[in-house]
A and B are shown apart, each in its own frame.
Chain A
């Protein structure tokens, strides 16, 4: 009972593994039902800011707008077709950087590149096209999550239709972080997820983690981001200890103002550009539980946790997609 076990740790230690496993299963199912019962509209605040960019805008201007407004993506609108034209994300800027690195003589072209022209860049360096997946805001959060997992996208635009004009309306962009934060705020069942992550089968899988060191050229790290289709590359020392992380969002600071001259910096130097209010990289160990991970998501903005051992050596990474995938498909 509540009164007799006032120390939460004692309480957890008093539970049998079977009991924990059973509660974990119930907890995951309850959160899944919650995601099925809520729509994207439920997540949206009463008022919020949404920035939609016209595809005729210059890429370098769009970069400034993202930095000024402290956002990392924006829905696009094509005035010619009068339609939603996909989502501008960090990958698009990474593509431009890679293109420029391959064709340094095209500086003029890159400087005058519009968002419309991103498709040509994508073709030239043969990478994936701009993400155009979207979902209606009245669909369940569960469906939105499934769509994101299928398309490997970390965010999904919410598109509705204007009743009168029958035109598409860009309502907002839903991120995996927002969904998990919403779950953490509203689902008490997250407190039931007491299984240490080492015991969740397939959760902290033996991912082939690509790492770099402080002296690795930042452009190589950027290449790794696209090759491995990841949003961050951990930086380790000679002993394999985690010391920092280069995130896809860091490319914005690197090429701010249309300067592509810093591409020969080492990743350690490139990270000096990071805004001073950067809150740091989150780490955890195999002993942590999703209950506390979700509570951390409730309290602070995080996009992944790096799993380290007792000596601080890098073991693995848990991304928000991993957590969502487990809630949606795990424990069956």
Chain B
């Protein structure tokens, strides 16, 4: 058992259940004593806590499962958080552990007390050398994560922390991936000043380029002491960002100006890449060795060695089966090009291989059959090193040359760095065939008719099809100008006609109906849910104008007594492609019939 036991009261020697003196066990999560609430982040509460044995301070990020993406994504979310745990970089807040309960996912993370931006606010704009040091640390951390296929997407002041030695620690890497779209939008709207144009315009795909933009804004703020894009009126701010309009103060050096201009480029394809930044002369000045990315070129087709400790650690943290891992490595070694969907396991394996401390902890953990908490305690702090020492990270650096599949992609970017922008080649001969354009074709047809001496001008008789007039208009819910109580009455009547059941409404939720319907087809598998739940809500849009909104509320399985009356057997003997829309449609049709009769 742990050494911590010696501190316990002798008569309370019941092992782990006993509490520290003077400590409220209710304020404890795992082996962490909660000290205070640090704040409410975009992903839930953040609390400061202390490991009860080592006294190491940590932050606990408590994610309520309800705020997570759709419930069916839960498995993926947990997997992704576990993946984040494998990341180790001196300038990224470490995720030490993940504690999962039914309602919450608790991330135990490194605690850094200060924010970079409080520092800027105190000091005003920085000398270029000082800003460069912070910027190099930020870019090195971003490069490390991109190499491991993680994009931050939400780099902003709140996520840039400082430790006691004034080293940057980036928080929340990879978290934007696991949130629902809606939630992400909400949080990023908090400070859109740092968001890339393609993020605010909701483009198809926001890749690693978005982090380059945000880093550019951060560099600008450090160098100039103000935001490049700012406006109190959000639409105006969005416009400034999407047009990429900002000014560069004259006091900036040419090198700094040049780098900023290449980072704050609206088109993500023309924006400088992380690797190109690392090649930039202004950036490279006084770059410490430990921040250089590993040389990736030698490792392209290197075989992956099988290490039992790494495998053990991986199956403990990520839950992969050992055979599964072995299988993937063998496949890779047989033919590195054949890798397809199993990339995920391989990536995790290579990350784990670099993460020596975690592998060691996991092995120790297994050998000693100890309870998890000791191994999850943060590694001791490296005192005496003013900057992150080469010793703490240097261990990892040589191993980082292992050949993650994603790494090969970054190799090609280095080749690309020397190629000018070829997207618009003047000597391209790609063209639109003029005679294929409808107006020219029509003229051509009329002309050939005339040449043939045909009087019947067929061209004027055949008009083009038009799609425009037929455009369907879509509406949300149904609108009504009746009295709200009448509307509710109509809905209850329609529900009754359709054989639905509903819960008695409470005082607070007078305008919400919680309803359930039988929805089951004959060929249902056993234990398939047979009731669909729906929430119907009445909103006031403006005086005398109301909206009835329908919301899917999940499924339920209720075992019926055989005597229960069967409702609508014919109608429900089959299963629609969209059961919720199907039921909502039936309800709307029923409401329409009622309103016609009344």
Contacts and interface: CB of A to CB of B under 8 A. Distances in A.
Contacts of A244: 433, 435-436, 441
> A84, A252, A278 — which one has the most chain B CB atoms within 10 A of its CB?
A278
Nearest to A160: B72
Contacts of B434: 280
B432 A282 contact: yes
Contacts of B405: 33, 36-37
B433 A164 contact: no
B419 interface: yes
A192 B433 contact: no
A137 to B, nearest CB: 12
A140 B205 contact: no
- Which 4 A-B residue pairs are closest in the complex by CB-CB distance? A82-B575, A77-B577, A281-B436, A280-B432
Nearest to B76: A138
A282 B431 contact: yes
Contacts of A101: none
Contacts of B422: 8, 11-12, 191, 194, 291-292
Contacts of A8: 420-422, 424-426
Contacts of A5: 420
Given A186-B205, A273-B464, A166 B525 contact: yes
Contact of B430 (A27, A68, A163, A292): A292
A276 B422 CA distance: 33
Contact residues of B: prevailing secondary structure: loop
Interface in A51-102: 52, 54, 64, 67-70, 77, 79-80, 82, 84
Contact of A274 (B202, B425, B438, B458): B438
Interface string A274-291: 111011111111011101
B261 interface: no
A26 B408 CA distance: 10
Contact of B419 (A11, A269, A288): A11
B470 A166 contact: no
A191 B270 CA distance: 12
Contacts of B415: 23, 26, 192
Contacts of A6: 420
B457 to A, nearest CB: 11
Contacts of A320: none
Contact of A191 (B205, B423, B574): B423
A28 B67 CA distance: 41
B432 A279 contact: yes
B412 to A, nearest CB: 5
A285 B441 contact: no
Interface string B511-550: 0000000000101010011000000000000000000000
A306 B472 CA distance: 35
Contacts of B467: 67-68, 70, 275
> B339, B419, B472 — which one has the most chain A CB atoms within 10 A of its CB?
B419
Contacts of A32: 337
A33 B409 contact: yes
Given A43-B205, A188-B269, 4 more contacts: A8-B422, A84-B577, A273-B463, A282-B431
A1 interface: yes
Contacts of A260: none
Interface string B494-507: 00000000000000
Contact of A288 (B269, B408, B429, B523): B429
Contact of B465 (A34, A43, A253, A292): A253
A275 B340 contact: no
B212 to A, nearest CB: 13
Interface size class on chain B is 35 or more
B430 A142 contact: no
Contacts of B472: 68-69
A33 to B, nearest CB: 6
B141 to A, nearest CB: 22
B430 A52 contact: no
B477 interface: no
Nearest to B410: A30
23 contacts: A8-B424, A33-B406, A42-B205, A70-B467, A77-B576, A140-B340, A169-B577, A182-B205, A189-B409, A191-B423, A192-B412, A243-B436, A244-B435, A245-B436, A268-B448, A272-B462, A272-B464, A280-B433, A280-B434, A281-B433, A282-B433, A288-B429, A295-B424
Given A80-B574, A191-B422, A269-B458, A33 B438 contact: no
Interface in A220-275: 242-245, 252-253, 256, 265, 268-269, 271-275
A69 B408 CA distance: 42
Interface of B: 72, 149, 181, 202, 204-205, 207, 269, 273, 337, 339-341, 343, 405-406, 408-409, 412-413, 415-416, 418-439, 441-442, 444-445, 448, 458-459, 462-467, 470-472, 521, 523, 525, 528-529, 554-555, 574-579
Interface string A9-50: 101100000000001001101101110110000110110000
Contacts of B576: 77, 79, 82
Given A272-B445, A274-B464, A280 B436 contact: yes
A269 B462 contact: yes
B416 A36 contact: no
Nearest to A254: B465
A322 to B, nearest CB: 15
A170 interface: yes
Nearest to B419: A191
> B337, B433, B444, B459 — which one has the most chain A CB atoms within 10 A of its CB?
B433
B182 to A, nearest CB: 9
B207 A34 contact: no
Contact of B529 (A1, A29, A165, A269): A165
Given A164-B554, A283-B433, A288 B428 contact: yes
A305 interface: yes
Nearest to A169: B577
Contacts of B423: 191, 295
B5 to A, nearest CB: 44
A8 B424 CA distance: 9
A192 B469 CA distance: 44
A283 B430 contact: yes
A215 to B, nearest CB: 9
B341 A143 contact: yes
A214 interface: yes
A199 B554 CA distance: 57
B441 A46 contact: no
B441 A68 contact: no
Nearest to B70: A163
Nearest to B71: A163
A152 interface: no
A139 interface: yes
Given A52-B578, A194-B422, A276 B439 contact: yes
Contacts of B554: 164
